[in-house]
A and B are shown apart, each in its own frame.
Chain A
Amino acid sequence: MVKKLIILSMMLWGMALLSVSSAKEYMIVGARPDKLYVIDIKARKVEKTFTIPDSTAPQNIVISPDGKIAYVGTNHLRSIVGIDLESGDVVFRADLDYKDDERTWNYGFDISPDGSEIYSYDIPTKIYLDRFESREPRLSVFKTNGGLEAKPVREFPLPRRIHLLMVAKSGALYAMGWDFYKVDVQTGKYEVAYPLRNWTQKNLSQPDALAFWPSWDNNGIFSTPIYYARTDMAENNMERYRTGLLTLDLKTEKFDLIDFQGAPEILFSSVLHPNRKTAYAAYNTLLKIDLEKPHTAKRIDLNHTYYQTDISADGTEVYVGGTTCDVAIYDSTDLKHIGEVKLPNCPDMGATVLRMIHK
Chain B
Amino acid sequence: MKFIAPILSILLLTAGLSACSEAPKKSNVSEAEKVTGRTLVSDNCSGCHMEAEDGTFSRISFIRKTPEGWDMNIARMMIFHGLEIEPQDRRALVKYLADTQGLAPSETAAHRDILERKHNVIEQGVDPDLAAMCARCHTYARVALQRRDKAEWQNLVHMHLGQWASIEYQMLARERDWRADALGPVAEKLGKLYPLKTTAWTDWQKAEWKDMSGSWYMVGHVPGIGDMGGSMTVKAAGEGKYQTAFNMTFTDDNTGAEGINLTGMGKSIVHTGYEWRGTATLNDVKYRQIWAASPDGNRMTGRFFKKDHPEDGMTITAWRNIPENNGIMSIVPAALKAGKATEIVISGLNLSGDISIPGAEVTVKQASDSRIVISALAQDGATGPAKITVGNDSAPLAIYLQVDYLKVTPEYGISRVGGGGGPIPKVAAQFEAVGYTFGPDGKQGTDDDVNLGRLPVIWQVDNYSPAAAAMQDVKYAGHITENGTFIPAVAGPNPERKYGTNNAGDLKVIASYHNGTRTLTAEAHLIATVQRWNNPPIM
Which of A's residues lie within 8 Å of B, judged by CB? 76-77, 103, 105, 107, 123, 125, 127, 129-134, 160-161, 163, 197, 206, 208, 210, 284, 301-305
Residues of B near A123 (CB, < 8 A) are 165
Closest-by-CB residue of A relative to B159 is: A132
| C-alpha gap A123/B168 in the complex (Å) | 11
Residues of A near B500 (CB, < 8 A) are 303-304
Please tell me which one of the listed residues A127, A129, A131, A304 contacts residue B499 in the complex, with CB atoms under 8 A apart: A304
| C-alpha gap A107/B493 in the complex (Å) | 30
Please tell me which one of the listed residues B157, B162, B163, B493 contacts residue A304 in the complex, with CB atoms under 8 A apart: B493
Q: Is the CB of A130 within 8 A of B59?
A: yes
Closest-by-CB residue of A relative to B49 is: A130
Residues of B near A301 (CB, < 8 A) are 498-499
Flag the segment in B169-177, B438-446, B455-463 that touches A.
B169-177
B side interface size, CB within 8 A: 24
Residues of A near B50 (CB, < 8 A) are 129-130
| C-alpha gap A284/B179 in the complex (Å) | 32
For B372-412 the 0/1 string (1 means CB < 8 A from A) is 00000000000000000000000000000000000000000
Chain B nearest Cβ from A324, distance in angstroms: 9
| C-alpha gap A46/B500 in the complex (Å) | 24
| C-alpha gap A115/B175 in the complex (Å) | 34
Q: Is the CB of A208 within 8 A of B175?
A: yes
* B202 contacts partner chain A, Cβ-Cβ < 8 Å: no
Q: Is the CB of B165 within 8 A of A76?
A: yes
Please tell me which one of the listed residues A107, A132, A206, A210 contacts residue B161 in the complex, with CB atoms under 8 A apart: A132
Residues of B near A133 (CB, < 8 A) are 158, 162
Chain A nearest Cβ from B495, distance in angstroms: 9
Chain A nearest Cβ from B160, distance in angstroms: 8
| C-alpha gap A283/B177 in the complex (Å) | 27
Residues of B near A284 (CB, < 8 A) are 499
| C-alpha gap A262/B499 in the complex (Å) | 22
| C-alpha gap A204/B169 in the complex (Å) | 22
Which of B's residues lie within 8 Å of A, judged by CB? 48-50, 58-59, 155, 157-159, 161-163, 165, 168-169, 174-175, 177, 179, 493, 498-501
Q: Is the CB of A131 within 8 A of B158?
A: yes
Greatest chain A CB density within 10 A among B159, B163, B168, B501 is at B168
Q: Is the CB of B177 within 8 A of A160?
A: yes
Chain A nearest Cβ from B218, distance in angstroms: 44
Chain A nearest Cβ from B381, distance in angstroms: 48
Chain A nearest Cβ from B454, distance in angstroms: 38
Greatest chain B CB density within 10 A among A77, A127, A133, A208 is at A133
Q: Is the CB of A160 within 8 A of B158?
A: no
**24 interchain pairs (CB within 8 A)?**
A77-B165, A103-B162, A107-B169, A123-B165, A125-B158, A125-B162, A130-B50, A130-B58, A130-B59, A132-B158, A132-B162, A133-B162, A134-B157, A134-B161, A160-B168, A161-B168, A161-B177, A163-B169, A197-B175, A208-B175, A301-B498, A301-B499, A303-B500, A305-B499
Chain A nearest Cβ from B252, distance in angstroms: 46
Closest-by-CB residue of A relative to B498 is: A301
Chain A nearest Cβ from B468, distance in angstroms: 15
Residues of A near B49 (CB, < 8 A) are 129-130
Please tell me which one of the listed residues B159, B165, B175, B501 contacts residue A105 in the complex, with CB atoms under 8 A apart: B165
| C-alpha gap A76/B169 in the complex (Å) | 15
Chain A nearest Cβ from B254, distance in angstroms: 43
Residues of A near B158 (CB, < 8 A) are 125, 131-134
Q: Which 5 A-B pairs have the closest CB atoms?
A: A125-B162, A134-B161, A132-B162, A304-B500, A132-B158
| C-alpha gap A208/B170 in the complex (Å) | 11
Residues of B near A125 (CB, < 8 A) are 158, 161-162
Q: Is the CB of A131 within 8 A of B155?
A: yes
| C-alpha gap A302/B501 in the complex (Å) | 11
Closest-by-CB residue of B relative to A302 is: B499
Residues of B near A160 (CB, < 8 A) are 168, 177, 179
Closest-by-CB residue of B relative to A105 is: B165
Q: Is the CB of B48 within 8 A of A130?
A: yes
Residues of A near B493 (CB, < 8 A) are 304
Residues of A near B177 (CB, < 8 A) are 160-161
Residues of B near A130 (CB, < 8 A) are 48-50, 58-59
Residues of B near A131 (CB, < 8 A) are 59, 155, 158-159
| C-alpha gap A251/B493 in the complex (Å) | 43
Q: Is the CB of B179 within 8 A of A134?
A: yes
Chain B nearest Cβ from A226, distance in angstroms: 13
| C-alpha gap A223/B15 in the complex (Å) | 82
Q: Given A208-B175, A301-B499, are A127 and B162 also a contact pair (CB < 8 Å)?
A: yes
| C-alpha gap A160/B175 in the complex (Å) | 12
Chain A nearest Cβ from B46, distance in angstroms: 10
| C-alpha gap A130/B52 in the complex (Å) | 14
Chain A nearest Cβ from B83, distance in angstroms: 12
Chain B nearest Cβ from A343, distance in angstroms: 17
Told that A134-B179, A304-B501 touch, could you supply 9 new A-B pairs with CB distance under 8 A? A105-B165, A125-B162, A129-B49, A131-B159, A134-B158, A160-B168, A206-B175, A301-B498, A302-B499
Chain B nearest Cβ from A322, distance in angstroms: 14
Residues of A near B179 (CB, < 8 A) are 134, 160
Chain B nearest Cβ from A40, distance in angstroms: 26
Residues of A near B161 (CB, < 8 A) are 125, 132, 134
| C-alpha gap A132/B160 in the complex (Å) | 9
Residues of A near B157 (CB, < 8 A) are 134
Closest-by-CB residue of B relative to A134 is: B161
Closest-by-CB residue of A relative to B501 is: A304
Chain A nearest Cβ from B58, distance in angstroms: 5
| C-alpha gap A107/B169 in the complex (Å) | 10
Chain A nearest Cβ from B156, distance in angstroms: 9
| C-alpha gap A60/B159 in the complex (Å) | 25
| C-alpha gap A103/B165 in the complex (Å) | 10
| C-alpha gap A356/B125 in the complex (Å) | 52
Q: Is the CB of B174 within 8 A of A161?
A: yes
Q: Given A76-B165, A163-B169, A210-B174, are A303 and B159 also a contact pair (CB < 8 Å)?
A: no
Q: Is the CB of B165 within 8 A of A161?
A: no
Residues of A near B175 (CB, < 8 A) are 197, 206, 208
Q: Is the CB of B48 within 8 A of A210?
A: no
Greatest chain B CB density within 10 A among A105, A125, A132, A163 is at A132
Q: Is the CB of A129 within 8 A of B48?
A: yes
Q: Is the CB of A134 within 8 A of B48?
A: no
| C-alpha gap A354/B248 in the complex (Å) | 62
Chain A nearest Cβ from B162, distance in angstroms: 3
Closest-by-CB residue of B relative to A123 is: B165
Residues of A near B169 (CB, < 8 A) are 107, 161, 163, 210
Residues of A near B58 (CB, < 8 A) are 130
Q: Is the CB of B499 within 8 A of A303?
A: yes
| C-alpha gap A301/B59 in the complex (Å) | 53
| C-alpha gap A77/B155 in the complex (Å) | 23
Chain B nearest Cβ from A264, distance in angstroms: 11
Residues of B near A163 (CB, < 8 A) are 169
| C-alpha gap A196/B484 in the complex (Å) | 49
Chain B nearest Cβ from A326, distance in angstroms: 11
Residues of B near A208 (CB, < 8 A) are 174-175
Residues of B near A304 (CB, < 8 A) are 493, 499-501
Chain A nearest Cβ from B388, distance in angstroms: 50
| C-alpha gap A161/B170 in the complex (Å) | 10
Chain B nearest Cβ from A206, distance in angstroms: 6
| C-alpha gap A305/B169 in the complex (Å) | 21
Chain A nearest Cβ from B180, distance in angstroms: 8
Greatest chain A CB density within 10 A among B58, B165, B501 is at B165
Chain B nearest Cβ from A41, distance in angstroms: 23
Residues of B near A77 (CB, < 8 A) are 165
Closest-by-CB residue of B relative to A304 is: B500
Residues of A near B174 (CB, < 8 A) are 161, 208, 210
| C-alpha gap A133/B160 in the complex (Å) | 10
